[in-house]
């Protein structure tokens, strides 16, 4: 598995070397495609755009496989959404300050996994960011003032999240704590979808939920091409990355935000300060699973290239691309920058 992935990362490096505009010309000639067809569909679920594209031998199989992915996205959304008052996540936020709240094993395991990322990143990834994060309302241009941030910042503390694995319960050890899985759940849902497609015998697919994508197989002798957009222009792709059997997540300051007095207030929060992180405009992480790359893209965004690369270098098969405030692009050592 690891060997396989390192070959893929070399593929990324080689193609990146060719530059954004001629990557496809450098790709291998397409192998003959067997009987069947590509199917694709988009839907709005989990507060974002879900996009599925896959190859299947029959139309019925293809459409049924996409139906199954969309159903899985809805299921994960119901389990983990903080918008839906009936979700288990909302129950945790409403009651875990009073005592342990029992949740489904699946949700419990995901919360437990999120703590692994908090540990790994010294708290740059922290689902309790929401203790301050909920004070922002990007759509209505609402942000907390310094005093409000100050009052809530102590509750941003993943170490005060008490998990009881035996009983699958979650408890908040500090007043005012909240959690939010917005930085993890989409990657998880994408991974679940890919597993589900594999179980149906699908061998070529791409599943995206917002900035989180996972790729299954290739496109018959060619890699899938995934673009990283320009932070200020959704139509402009600054880099195309050829990928096979891998996941990629991008976190950007242009997804949910508002600007005020020259400051951008956006949805990726530095847990140390309670403010929107501002070291980079976007951070993309490439790695084996989308749950992993989703968690790590926030980390990369919050910490910026230098510190993030130090942490990412300790994780096997993970690479990253950053777009700095001045538009400069930074790459992890595993990738070769395009020469243009």
Summarize as ranges the residues that interact with ligand ADP (CB under 6 A).
48, 125-127, 129, 180, 182-183, 186, 210-212, 249, 251, 255, 267-269, 271, 294, 297-298, 302
Residue 314's region, left for phi above 0, alpha for psi from -120 to 50, else beta, is alpha
Is 304 one of the binding residues for Mg ion (CB under 5 A)? no
Among Mg ion, ligand ADP, none, what binds residue 269 when CB lies within 5 to 8 Å by partner kind? ligand ADP
What's the closest the beta carbon of residue 323 comes to ligand ADP, in angstroms?
A: 13
Q: Which is nearer to Mg ion, 186 or 267 (CB)?
A: 186
What's the closest the beta carbon of residue 258 comes to ligand ADP, in angstroms?
A: 14
Phi, psi of 101 (to 5 degrees): -110, 125
Q: Pick from 62, 123, 144, 211: which binds Mg ion (CB under 5 A)?
A: 211
Is 271 one of the binding residues for Mg ion (CB under 5 A)? no
**285: nearest Cα among 302, 269, 303, 298:** 298
Q: Which is nearer to ligand ADP, 249 or 289 (CB)?
A: 249
Span near Mg ion by CB under 5 A; candidates 7-15, 49-57, 184-192, 255-263: 184-192
What's the closest the beta carbon of residue 102 comes to ligand ADP, in angstroms?
A: 23
Cα 111 from Cα 166, distance rounded (Å): 14
Phi, psi of 253 (to 5 degrees): -85, 10
Under DSSP, is residue 76 helix (H, G, I), strand (E, B) or coil?
Answer: helix
Is 212 one of the binding residues for Mg ion (CB under 5 A)? yes
In the Cβ-directed half-sphere of 204, how many Cα atoms lie within 13 Å?
A: 18
Q: Which letter, b or e, does each residue of 135-151 get, where b requires 16 or more Cβ atoms within 10 Å of its Cβ?
A: bbeeeeeebbeeeebee
């Amino acid at each position: 598995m690891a060997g396989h992935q390192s070959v893929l990362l070399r593929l990324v490096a080689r193609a990146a070397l060719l530059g954004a505009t001629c990557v496809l010309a450098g790709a291998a000639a397409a192998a003959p495609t067997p009987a069947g067809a590509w199917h694709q569909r988009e839907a709005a679920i989990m507060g974002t755009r879900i996009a599925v594209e896959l190859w299947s031998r029959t139309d019925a199989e293809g459409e049924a496989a996409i139906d199954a992915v969309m159903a899985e996205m809805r299921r994960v959304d119901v389990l983990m959404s903080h918008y839906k008052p009936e979700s288990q996540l909302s129950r945790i936020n409403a009651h875990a300050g009073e005592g342990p709240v029992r949740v489904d094993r699946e949700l419990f395991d995901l919360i437990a996994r999120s703590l692994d990322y908090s540990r790994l990143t010294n708290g740059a990834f922290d689902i309790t960011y929401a203790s301050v994060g909920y004070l922002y309302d990007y759509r209505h241009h609402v942000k907390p003032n310094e005093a409000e941030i100050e009052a809530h910042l102590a509750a941003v503390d993943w170490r005060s999240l008490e998990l009881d694995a035996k009983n699958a319960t979650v408890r908040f050890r500090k007043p005012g704590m909240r959690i939010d899985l917005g930085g993890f759940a989409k990657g998880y849902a994408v991974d679940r979808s890919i597993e589900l497609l594999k179980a149906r015998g699908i061998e070529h697919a791409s599943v995206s939920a917002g900035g989180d994508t996972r790729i299954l197989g290739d496109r018959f002798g060619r890699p899938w091409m995934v673009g990283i957009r320009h932070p200020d222009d959704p139509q402009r792709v600054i880099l195309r990355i050829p990928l096979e059997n891998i996941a990629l997540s991008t976190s950007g300051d242009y997804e949910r935000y508002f600007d005020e007095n020259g400051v951008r207030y956006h949805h990726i929060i530095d847990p140390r300060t309670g403010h929107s992180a501002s070291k980079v405009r976007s951070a993309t992480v490439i790695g084996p699973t989308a749950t992993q790359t989703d968690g790590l893209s926030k980390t990369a965004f919050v910490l910026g290239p230098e510190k993030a690369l130090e942490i990412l270098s300790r994780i096997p098969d993970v690479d990253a691309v950053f777009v700095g405030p001045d538009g400069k692009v930074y790459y992890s050592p595993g990738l070769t920058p395009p020469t243009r």
